[in-house]
Chains A and B, each alone.
Chain A
């Protein structure tokens, strides 16, 4: 199904998670993340429960733990931010590892770290089991505004074309002796970016003409001829994860 260079995170497979319709997986991911974010930060064991749920989904979708953990590096900026909190936080101080740290700050750091990691892991599992094209289809079926899904579709289609053009321009530039090493030598590159923008703009116009020639009047027709929408059973299967998370959260809140 068109797997290739544009699928940065997708892992081809036929696991039960792969086979779930995209709209089910998107909804489950968003619901799960909302439950995680809404959980009081001091209910530590609840986060253990969520981590277990993520692990179960990872096993079901045959995504290796190394692959997942490697890609959580996207949250590094948040982690750095979280690490500053115990030092910058106000309120009561506690002694930890010989440092006097803010108790409030420690809770804050834990809150950011735990929730961000779980959210990132859930998104990664979605991306690993759903092609970009199916993600767009899922958003479309969830009544996401068509202008958003259309822009995403165009980006998916024309990114490789643009990258190809940029690469050809780069080769042509360095073939004529351009070799920028320092910031003040990037004139050629900057001009290239401008040219690329103009080309993209002109291409947009030509694509639009070609679309109008095939009867386009401003609204995309449902041109998909394959794959049906989700069944009730599939929705129930997808709901299992956020439902379990909600149960954990409810118990955590009830025990407070």
Chain B
């Protein structure tokens, strides 16, 4: 594990589902430490499949995934460490928050890492404070607003001190204020971020770099403003800017 290794290094990753559907056809992707990268692509492009490879939930038929220099494999100790390093925030917070209170749920990840007692409580406090939810620690998840639940879902992963934060459609179903609040939180986090989205303005707002995944391949990689300015490229991959929106040059 060297510090010079990129936060994420995916090489030639191929994956087919048991029913034969080929989801990834040789993905190459490198994300430097501290970067915020948007992973864009239409529905069915393989975005979620790729995300599930990043922490070893799925394993490719071919190719490698390296997280901070550590190759994702099937070894239990390696998987445990990889799942600590890569924090995935899933799209539906109701999938992520499964315990009866916010604090218990945020404690779940670090407790799996072996933390107990005061150290565990400190992790929970720190993670909830980072997303501005410290006042809700004893609430039940279903009593929170959708935006609050999404923020708690981010906290459940932050509590594990990840090196790479992966967000699956972080802005979906959020009202404009919650969307902005989440953007402010994400911008302030000192971690590498890979954001899966088709909310192009959100990608422009938060990520200096974007990659487009389509039909299981990375088809474009570059500064977000440049990619979003290329109307023909976006159209080719079923991506569209909202009506009246024009990316700054």
Contacts and interface: CB of A to CB of B under 8 A. Distances in A.
B241 to A, nearest CB: 30
A210 B109 contact: no
Interface of A: 1-2, 4, 6, 133, 136, 153-154, 156-158, 160-161, 203, 206-207, 209-217, 221-226
B83 A223 contact: no
Contacts of A222: 111, 116
Interface of B: 52, 55, 57, 76, 80, 83-84, 86-88, 90, 92, 94-101, 103-105, 107-109, 111-113, 116-117, 120-121, 124, 138-143, 156-157, 160
B99 A4 contact: no
A161 B99 CA distance: 13
A133 B107 contact: no
Contact of A210 (B84, B95, B120): B95
B109 A215 contact: yes
A214 B95 contact: no
Interface of B, secondary structure class, is helix
A82 to B, nearest CB: 38
Interface of A, secondary structure class, is helix
B246 to A, nearest CB: 36
Contacts of B140: 2, 4, 6, 157
Contact of A4 (B83, B90, B112, B143): B143
A214 B112 contact: yes
Contact of B57 (A136, A160, A207, A212): A212
B79 to A, nearest CB: 9
Given A214-B109, A214-B160, 14 more contacts: A157-B140, A160-B142, A207-B95, A210-B88, A213-B57, A213-B90, A215-B83, A215-B112, A216-B112, A222-B111, A224-B104, A225-B103, A225-B117, A225-B121
Contacts of A206: 90, 92, 95
B120 A225 contact: yes
Contacts of B83: 212-215
Contacts of A203: 94-95
